[in-house]
């Protein structure tokens, strides 16, 4: 089973709602990475059954990530052409 990781529980809960409305079964837990001792720093992990292409599509929309996912965004973010100036 592949877990979907989130920094924010709000993003994870939104995806849970969307997936369950489409008939998926979900389990949301917390998981510590190596060396993490603070409970608040732990990632949220969502396990989805069945895990299919539709789930993968929704991961990017809801701000999650998959372990080992090395896909790059189709278009890199726009860089500013000049420094931003604050108005007085």
pLDDT digits (tens, 9 = 90+) for 18-67: 999 999 999 998 876 655 565 566 788 999 999 998 998 888 888 888 88
| Structure token digits, residue 12 | 């994870």
Q: In the structure, what pLDDT confidence band is assigned to residue 76 with cuts at 50, 70 and 90?
A: low
pLDDT digits over 8-21, tens only? 889 999 999 999 99
pLDDT for residue 73: 55
Intra-chain end-to-end CA distance of the chain, in Å: 55
The overall pTM is greater than 0.75: no
Q: What is the CB neighbour count within 10 angstroms for residue 66?
A: 16
Whole-angstrom distance, CA of residue 8 vs CA of residue 46: 12
In the block, tokens 């920094």 appear at 7
């Amino acid at each position: 089973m592949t877990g979907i990781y989130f920094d924010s529980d709000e993003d994870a809960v939104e995806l849970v709602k969307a997936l369950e409305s489409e008939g998926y079964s979900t389990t949301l837990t917390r998981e510590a990475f190596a060396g993490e001792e603070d409970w608040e720093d732990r990632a949220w992990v969502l396990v989805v059954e069945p895990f299919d292409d539709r789930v993968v599509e929704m991961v990017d929309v809801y701000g999650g990530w998959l372990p080992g996912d090395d896909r790059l965004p189709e278009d890199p973010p726009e860089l500013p052409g000049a420094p931003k100036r604050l108005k007085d």
